[in-house]
């Protein structure tokens, strides 16, 4: 796995939020968002640089083919010229590299969007925390009431069975 893939995976892993360590999550969110935003900008720059290189090389190949055609006296339509330019192995290689860079830029952009969403989730988790949602006593209180109700039903059934057997 490439370094870029490992780095991308570690950033994806950081999207997970520890709801019991919200203070640390809140403190680290802006710097992590910045890191991802910076990576997006760099990936877009690489992609756009590659696109410019493709345009430059395409123009050079076009000019070279036109010179060859002029020298040979061959007749060539614009469509045929474009097809020859597009079929250039050098240009095809540059386009494959461009597509890879585009994919990487898109992955980082999606990650940036996920980090933006993470900020909203953190805000909602903090609201839940401050309202007492994560307190164990509120959960135990509900379970305790349920256990008490279950015990009461069992006692009632046992009493009915004893009366039924005894009567």
Kindly tell me if the per-residue pLDDT of 31 is higher than 90. Answer: yes
Kindly tell me if the per-residue pLDDT of 120 is higher than 70. Answer: yes
**35 CB-near residues (< 8 Å, 6+ apart):** 11
Mean pLDDT is lowest, of 12-26, 32-46, 50-64, 94-108, for 12-26
Select the more confidently predicted residue: 152 or 92: 92
Kindly tell me if the per-residue pLDDT of 139 is higher than 60. Answer: no
| pLDDT tens-digit readout, 47-97 | 999 999 999 999 999 999 999 999 999 999 999 999 999 999 999 999 999
pLDDT of residue 124: 93
Kindly tell me if the per-residue pLDDT of 142 is higher than 60. Answer: no
> Contact 19/129 with Cβ under 8 angstroms?
yes
Kindly tell me if the per-residue pLDDT of 122 is higher than 60. Answer: yes
For residue 110, give both structure tokens: 């999606």
Select the more confidently predicted residue: 64 or 134: 64
> Contact 95/54 with Cβ under 8 angstroms?
yes
pTM value is 0.72
Q: pLDDT-based confidence at 129, cuts 50/70/90?
A: confident
């Amino acid at each position: 796995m490439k370094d870029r893939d490992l780095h991308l995976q570690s950033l994806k892993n950081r999207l997970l939020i520890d709801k019991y360590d919200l203070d640390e999550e809140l403190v680290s969110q802006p710097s992590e968002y910045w890191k991802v935003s910076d990576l997006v900008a760099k990936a877009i720059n690489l992609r756009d640089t590659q696109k410019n290189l493709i345009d430059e090389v395409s123009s050079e190949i076009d000019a070279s083919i036109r010179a060859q055609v002029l020298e040979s006296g061959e007749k060539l339509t614009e469509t045929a010229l474009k097809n020859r330019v597009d079929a250039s192995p050098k240009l095809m290689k540059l386009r494959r590299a461009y597509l890879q860079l585009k994919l990487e830029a898109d992955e980082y952009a999606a990650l940036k969007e996920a980090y933006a969403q993470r900020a909203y989730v953190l805000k909602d988790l903090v609201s839940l925390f401050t309202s007492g949602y994560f307190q164990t006593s509120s959960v135990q209180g509900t379970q305790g009431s349920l256990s008490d109700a279950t015990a009461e039903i069992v006692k009632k059934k046992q009493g009915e069975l004893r009366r039924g057997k005894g009567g």
